[in-house]
Amino acid sequence: MSSTTGRDTRVAVLSGGMSLERDVSLRSGTRVTTALAEQGFDVSRIDVDAGLVPTLERGGFDVAVLALHGAAGEDGTIQSVLELLHLPFTGSDVLASSLGWNKPIAQGLYARAGLHVPERITLSQLAFRELGASAVVDRVALLLGLPLVVKPVTGGSSLGLSVVTTATELPGAIVGALSYADAVLIERFVTGTEVAVSVLDGQALPPVEISPKDGRYDFAARYTAGATEFHAPARLDPAIVAACERTAIEAGAAIGARHLWRADMIVDAAGTPWLLEIDTCPGMTETSLVPLAAEAAGIAFPDLCRTLVELALPVPA
């Protein structure tokens, strides 16, 4: 198969799947497919289902572009399949994907690397049930203080995430998050400016400042046009911008991310970036943050997609 980038390069854009983020993934996949076609690639969008492996084996593809979100697409599963098929793919490898997908493990690695992460506790469904919900809730609120952020240990797009301001709200928030995963991450709420820093081929793109109009960057705010105001580049002091960019790059290094990732953080009043998580397969929709950051860096969306393909393809001998 060809290792050049152009009409001779057959590209499979993988999107869809059966995760809770399927619709977002389809939007990402459609947009990426259109952009790569504009760049002259022989590109096919494939909806990930039980027929994926034979479809890829028959297709004669040179590379797979991952536009998958949620379980199977971001947790290392699809990456394992593609490695078995010896098909190069965009984004992080199996290990980095699985580490980034599990928020408590990833945050432990970020903290070990010297990055600022909020104080937190992980609580499994079993522990919540068998240790006594009321006792656990009281201790968590006492140790971490209020308000708190409660989220599933895996997943994205803010699904299952809630902010609680009183201890009485905590049990309901935990139960809600447990409907998305078998454990929850409870974090000290950090007040400040929400910032996302995308990293492309080891270089940070301009940070994007996020200002939801209703105050919360939830699923609706992420994917509803006009629901959030974005500033790219972020309206921050240059020294703080540099700190955010370092945080994003070092966080990716901590889990071994490659090609492209997005680091989400809160910058507090003192200018300290508090890292929340990394998305190793970030969205590519019209309201997604990576395309906004790329545009602020002067990179058109089709060029961004082409760069990802080039990063994934093996270097000719």
For 78-119, give the secondary structure using H, E and C.
HHHHHHHCCCCECCCCHHHHHHHHCHHHHHHHHHHCCCCCCC
Q: What is the pLDDT of residue 3?
A: 42
**Whole-prediction pTM value?**
0.92
On the question of pLDDT at 27 being above 60, the answer is yes
Q: Is the pLDDT of residue 198 over 60?
A: yes
* pLDDT digit string, tens, across residues 40-52: 999 999 999 999 9
Nearest by Cα to 269 from 206, 189, 193: 193
| Average per-residue pLDDT for the chain | 91
Please check the confidence at residue 219 and state whether its pLDDT lies above 60: no
pLDDT at 73: 86
With a cut of 50, say whether residue 159 has pLDDT above it.
yes
Name the more confident of 140 and 216. 140
Amino acid at 160: G
Pick from 258, 253, 256: nearest CA to 308: 258
Model pLDDT for residues 238-279, shown as the tens digit of each residue:
999 999 999 999 999 999 999 999 999 999 999 999 999 999
Give yes or no for residue 215 having a pLDDT over 80.
no
Give the CATH H-level superfamily of domain 99-116+191-298: ATP-grasp fold, B domain (3.30.470.20)
Both tokens of 44, joined, read 């096919």
pLDDT, tens digit (0-9, with 9 covering 90-100), for 68-109? 988 878 999 999 999 999 999 999 999 999 999 999 999 999
Does the CA dihedral 53-57-60-63 come out positive or negative? positive
pLDDT band for position 2 (50/70/90)? very low
What mean pLDDT comes out for the span 217-223?
Answer: 54
**Angle separating helix axes 94-101 and 77-84, nearest 10 degrees:** 170
User: What confidence score (pLDDT) does residue 70 get?
Assistant: 83
CATH of segment(s) 10-90+305-312: 3.40.50.20
The answer regarding whether domain 120-188 maps to CATH 3.40.50.150 reads no
Q: What is the mean pLDDT of residues 309-313?
A: 97
pLDDT of residue 216: 60
- Reduced to 3 states, what is the DSSP secondary structure of residue 39? coil
Per 3-state DSSP, the chain is made up of helix, strand and coil in percentages (nearest 5) of 40, 20, 40
Q: Where are the domains of the chain?
A: 10-90+305-312, 99-116+191-298, 120-188
pLDDT of residue 1: 38
End-to-end CA distance of the chain: 14
The model's pLDDT over 3-13, given as tens digits with 9 standing for 90+, comes to 455 668 999 99
